[in-house]
Structure 1
Amino acid sequence: MANEENHQETDVNENNDSNQKIDRPGRQFYIPSQIVDEFGEKGRDHLNKPFRAQFLLALTAGSFMTFGAVFSVLLAVGVETKGIYHLLSGLGFAAGYSMVFISGAVLFTEINVLLPSYLFNKAGLMKKNIYKFWLSSYVGNIIGAFLVAVLIQWSGSFASTFYPELEMYLDHKMKFMDHGVKGWFQVLVSGVLANWLIGMAAFLTTSARDLTGKILGTTLPVVLFVAGNFQHSAANMGYFSMGILASDKYTWYEYIFFNLVPASIGNLIGGAILVSLLFSYAYKEDIQTSLGRKKNKKGAER
């Protein structure tokens, strides 16, 4: 009897140990292969939306870019210490990106990551739909950014100190224009770096499972790209929309041809290749999604 009781007690202890292992808390974030899955699914969902929804969400994202640009300027007005200046400016713009990522708005530079993740994991390309969607997101972002800039100017809300600070930002963005053809390619390379960072902001934001984590994941890469003056076309749409209305130092075509065009090309390269393609290829064996079929080592479809 004593032996039986000992065995029973041992079994109970083993069951308790087993239950403790099973009941341990799960991860509060997605692992990289799951993030690539999420990217692809978001890209597919955006692509399958009606055109009116795509365009309205693009307008919304562009609007948030102008709010972010304005906030970045407002927070940094009068700050002399460079490190704090860059930190506050980056935090200001992170507000715009947080609103984009969490609301599901369609931002051109985020689409440069989401849509390629979908295309890299499925067969066949719906070319007409893809090009139409990319174009509508870009145009929608510009219009949304400009409309909010107009409303801000009409509101007359800002103090006179805002506008000299804004002009400093514009000079910082447009300094490459003085370098001619070399400057054009410098903006392109800077655009690659910018969307690499914004792609990683999307990566970290998608990984997080709560609102605090998503905002923090967005903020860190955004602060870095703002501090580094890397040329991010969607962000610059916000600055330039305010600049067109508040200053005559640069013309609209200078903003477009000497900054937005090369920056956008760089953004496409940085997001599609350095984030989407890189991680899709690195984790292709682990990706399990309805976007495509996973293959075993012998090449048979699962």
Structure 2
Amino acid sequence: MVFHPPVSIISKVGDAGKGKCALPAWNMLLRGFMAGAYIAMGAALATVCVTGTAAFLGAGVAKLVLGAVFPVGLIIIVLTGAELFTGDAMFAPMAAFKHKISWAAVLNLWVWVYIGNLIGSLVFAYLMSVGPLVSISATGTATATAFGVTAVSIAMGKTSYIGGFALWSAFCKAVCCNWLVNLAILLGICADDAIGKIVGIWFPIMAFVASGFEHCVANMYFIPAGILTMPALTADQVAGLGPKLANLNWVTMWTNNIIIVTIGNIVGGLVFVGVLYWISFKKDILAE
């Protein structure tokens, strides 16, 4: 397996960021749509696999199972060239640090990719909410499956950040999340072969998911999947989920989670990876 040294990796990130920002808006949107759907696929798989796991193996192992299967989304993104907002929080600024693009170009990429990620996540959330998350009777009545109840429970947890201290917690989790996500991307770049890239991506992504950190694009799937599945809940399922279900809606999706998590993800990718690595290797990169 070929291993690229750190200075080469950081230089490659800047070059890749320039290429991303040169894409036309429709292509940014399209690649963003694909990435949003791919992250949703990993999130959907994680939802199914974690259902019932804690009762038999304990909470810690359940988190490990959740983290072990989730990375499929980022693996697909990296190997197929889709565009993920949280990765672009590092890629595009690195190109700006090298004076290859303007900061206006960075913002342009972020906006279009973010919108594309949101659309892709929502589309896959809908497909899941009428697929594995529910059971449809012959009369057309939908009833939430065990997987659907898990999806709603996850969404409830993600909209339970109420108040300043809770939102600060969400922000810190988001910083940690994208710190790991972008380290996963760097590890993916350092290898030339598919297996090396997959292994490099898998461990940091597993770590962020198992640790309970917050990823804005994943939450663009997790929360809508729960909201869309809510009407299929039975009275007993509603009672079992508890009073926090009242906090789950399209408004709290943004106010209690995605807005603050997006900001935290930007800080995690831009500052804790992009800025730190640029400062560390700036002299060597500019000397190339």
TM-score w.r.t. structure 2 length? 0.85
Structure 2 alignment gaps of length 5 or more? 136-144, 232-244
| Superposition deviation, residue 274 in structure 1 | 0.6
| Superposition deviation, residue 286 in structure 1 | 1.7
Aligned partner of 1:170 in structure 2 is: 155
Letter in 2 for 1:84: V
Q: Does 1:32 align with 2:6?
A: yes
| Superposition deviation, residue 133 in structure 1 | 1.6
> Does the 8 Å contact 1:66/1:241 carry over to 2?
no
Moved more, 167-176 or 189-198: 167-176
Equivalent of 1:263 in 261, 264, 270: 261
1:62-91 deviations in whole A, cap 9, x for unaligned? 111211110011111221222321122112
| Superposition deviation, residue 121 in structure 1 | 1.2
Q: Does 1:93 align with 2:70?
A: yes
Aligned partner of 2:238 in structure 1 is: none
| Superposition deviation, residue 157 in structure 1 | 6.9
| SS state at 1:247 partner | helix
| Superposition deviation, residue 126 in structure 1 | 4.9
| Superposition deviation, residue 132 in structure 1 | 2.1
1:197-255 deviations in whole A, cap 9, x for unaligned? 10111111111221111111111111111111111111111211211211263111101
TM-score w.r.t. structure 1 length? 0.82
Letter in 2 for 1:62: G
| Superposition deviation, residue 283 in structure 1 | 0.9
Aligned partner of 1:58 in structure 2 is: 32
- 1:116-155 equivalences in 2 (<5 Å): 116-122=93-99, 125-127=102-104, 129-155=105-131
Letter in 2 for 1:175: S
Aligned partner of 2:169 in structure 1 is: 186
- 1:153-302 equivalences in 2 (<5 Å): 153-155=129-131, 160-177=145-162, 180-247=163-230, 249=245, 250-287=248-285, 294-295=286-287
Distance 1:106 1:213 in 2: 20
| SS state at 2:52 partner | coil
| Superposition deviation, residue 158 in structure 1 | 5.7
| Superposition deviation, residue 271 in structure 1 | 0.3
> Does the 8 Å contact 2:96/2:106 carry over to 1?
no
| Structure (1 or 2) with the larger CA radius of gyration | 1
| Superposition deviation, residue 124 in structure 1 | 6.3
Structure 1 alignment gaps of length 5 or more? 1-26, 288-293, 296-301
How many residues of Structure 1 are paired with residues of Structure 2 in the alignment? 261
Distance 1:94 1:158 in 2: 24
Aligned partner of 2:48 in structure 1 is: 74
| SS state at 1:29 partner | coil
> Does the 8 Å contact 1:86/1:223 carry over to 2?
no
Over 3 Å counting, the alpha-carbon distance change for 1:157 and 1:285 in structure 2 is: same
